[in-house]
Amino acid sequence: NLQLPLATMLDLASGDMDPYALVVERRLSHMAEAYHDRAAVTAAAGEDPVIYRAYEADVPHEASQLVYRMTIIEPGRIGDEFYMTKGHHHVVDSGEFYLGTAGTGAVVMQTRSGEVRVEEMPPGRAVYVPPGWAHRSVNVGTEPFVFLAVFFGNAGHDYASIERDGFAVRVLADGDGYRVG
Ligand code: M6P
Ligand code: ZN
């Protein structure tokens, strides 16, 4: 019983996927501890904005499979800190392929020994996240930031160490742009 091929339409501008099997929606309340400005978190908590969504194709989460997701991070900030994903390591150490498709964003990557890299992901820019690097994506623009992610079906998401220790750097508003602080 061989699996059948799968075809999916990806709207690169909006991030919509058709068909999709799973949608992830994360609000501020799902990751309030990630932002450093506690007063700004409290001020936004009532509205509890949607920070990002992700659509995933119907690919089994198993070894040898390639899972793919379109992620849409809304534009916005909590205090001076741009909207971002929770960020994670993989449970099974493995790489991930990212392709920016709309908006202005970046990916922050960090090893367990604390080495950090930040790469911008404008439309058409692919970033390869090697095994061993945690990854968090950030919208530094004024439009939704959209990107495609491809990862191993058995990679898994390990959020615990990021929830505990965060990333060593934050992506913060700086005039019309951003700085990594
Ligand atoms: C990308 C990929 C996914 C991830 C999503 C949201 O699409 O890296 O694996 O789930 O971003 O990020 P997070 O899981 O860290 O909230
Ligand atoms: Zn990942």
ipTM field = 0.98
Within the chain, where are the H helices?
Answer: 38-45, 160-165
The pLDDT score that the predictor gives to residue 164 is 96
Residue 173's closest CA among 83, 110, 85? 83
Q: Is residue 144 part of a domain?
A: yes
Q: Is residue 1 part of a domain?
A: no
Proximal ligand: closest to the CA of 83: 1
Low-confidence ranges of the chain (pLDDT < 50): none
Q: Are 13 and 102 in contact (CB under 8 A)?
A: yes
**pLDDT digit string (tens) for 122-166?**
999 999 999 999 999 999 999 999 999 999 999 999 999 999 999
User: Residue written as tokens 């898994």?
Assistant: 156
- Which amino acids bring their CB within 6 angstroms of ligand 1? 26, 54, 69, 71, 85-88, 96, 149, 151, 157
Please state, in angstroms and rounded to a whole number, the distance separating the CA atoms of residues 83 and 23.
18
Ligand 1 centroid from CA 158, angstroms: 11
Q: How far is CA 113 from CA 87, 123, 137, in A?
A: 16, 30, 20
The pLDDT score that the predictor gives to residue 68 is 98
> 27, 33, 83, 85: which to mutate for ligand 1, most atoms within 8 A of CB?
85
The pLDDT score that the predictor gives to residue 1 is 83
Give the CATH number of the domain where residue 61 resides. Answer: 2.60.120.10
Q: Is residue 108 part of a domain?
A: yes
Q: Give the count of domains, the chain.
A: 1
Domain that holds residue 25: 10-180
